[in-house]
Amino acid sequence: MLVDEFDYDLPEELIAQEPLEPRDASRLMVLDRGRGSWEHRRFRDLVDILRPGDCLVLNDTRVRPARLLGRRASGGRVELLLLRPLEGDRWEVLGRPARRLRAGSLLLFGAEEAGEEERLEAEVLANRGEGLLEVRFRYRGAWEELLRRLGQVPLPPYIRKPLDDPERYQTVYAREPGSAAAPTAGLHFTPELLERLRRRGVEQVPLTLHVGLDTFRPVLEREVERHRMHAEFFTLSGSAAAAINRARAAGGRVVAVGTTVVRTLESVAGPDGRVEPRQGWTELFIYPGYRYRVVDALLTNFHLPRSTLLMLVAAFAGRDLVLAAYREAVRQRYRFFSFGDAMLIL
């Protein structure tokens, strides 16, 4: 299967540069897999589309201020994006300019005149190619507090407009810091909409998956099957697993809010669709040919061409139907990507 099979034409002006207000004012394309058809709604219409007994599964990860802007000790600017902690004070990061960041390079963050507790140093331990680095940080004081002062919430590279309120790149239910990017399907929810869904009898169940490198890394292989996913850390609690299994047993639909929820649930599902509480790393890569075991419906944004996220959606609804729906979304001038509109696949 070729990566080229997941390409589509997207006018640049349809890439959303800022979020809508209110959050649930975005458009919602409702895609019916069985009928091969779609209809155009608003996100707030979810309360009329979902049924009592459905189980809405949400990723409660929170985007950390993972973008660090600094300088090389030898001169020149540097940017790091924190991906995941390793042992001790070592981290896996994306670095720019990657070619200049060789093993042994010293990187400095914070004002030169600042005291030791206001500064951060990083030594490059290894450059693994494609901008991926292993670094060791040196600092005094509390790591999270220092990161809060020196770091910025990272936005995807296709968003060029500064964000007035960083909280608009967080879901309203974000709880667990650790992501390098937001689980963007959840950005459309408001507290009021979640409450309306509760009153309708739609159960809401949290899990955690910290979004990492594959949100930023393109698929470079020519053949889909040769691509390897970057590991991401997840947690599914015992109470969450029990709620999901209980909803399925009662005939409710498991509605995954975003591709991160899909990957977590499918990583912990048995052949019978029951999920088990677990904590660990997943490298699950879902593309057409994969047989879903637990997810019944998928709420997601419109994804980049040739991306692993688009491949996951195509595996759920069929490549031809998904690409036809994307062409319709372009014709209807939907807003695309992180701050764009949404799709519900039933």
| pLDDT per residue as tens digits for the range 29-58 | 999 999 999 999 999 999 999 999 999 999
Each residue of 222-280: pLDDT tens digit? Answer: 999 999 998 899 999 999 999 999 999 999 999 999 999 999 999 999 999 999 999 99
Distance between CA 339 and CA 337 in Å, rounded?
6
pLDDT at 157 (0 to 100): 86
Average pLDDT over residues 323-338: 98
Q: Could you check whether the bond before residue 97 is cis, i.e. omega within 30 degrees of 0?
A: yes
5-14, 107-116, 250-259, 264-273: least confidently modelled range: 107-116
Count of Cβ atoms closer than 10 Å to residue 281 Cβ: 12
pLDDT of residue 215: 65
- C-alpha–C-alpha distance, residues 126 and 90, integer Å: 11
Q: What is the pLDDT of residue 216?
A: 64
Confidence of residue 79 (pLDDT cuts 50, 70, 90): very high
User: Residue 298: what are its φ and ψ, rounded to 5°?
Assistant: -130, 125
Q: Distance (Å, rounded) from C-alpha 265 to C-alpha 290?
A: 14
- Is a pLDDT exceeding 90 seen at residue 196? yes
Residue 114 has pLDDT above 70, yes or no: no
Which domains, and CATH codes, for the chain? 3-63+164-345 (3.40.1780.10), 67-150 (2.40.10.240)
Q: What angle do CA 205, 209, 211 make, to 5 degrees?
A: 135
Which has more pLDDT, 335 or 84? 335
Is 141 a residue whose pLDDT tops 90?
no
pTM of the model: 0.92
Indicate whether 306 pLDDT > 70.
Answer: yes
Report the alpha-carbon angle 343-329-43, nearest 5: 35
Cα torsion 220, 221, 222, 224 to 10°: value is -120
Concatenated DSSP letters for 197-253?
A: HHHHT-EEEEEEE---GGGT-----SBGGG--PPPEEEEE-HHHHHHHHHHHHTT--
CA neighbor of 65 nearest in space, from 145, 125, 151: 151
| Length, in residues, of the chain | 346
Residue 112 has pLDDT above 80, yes or no: no
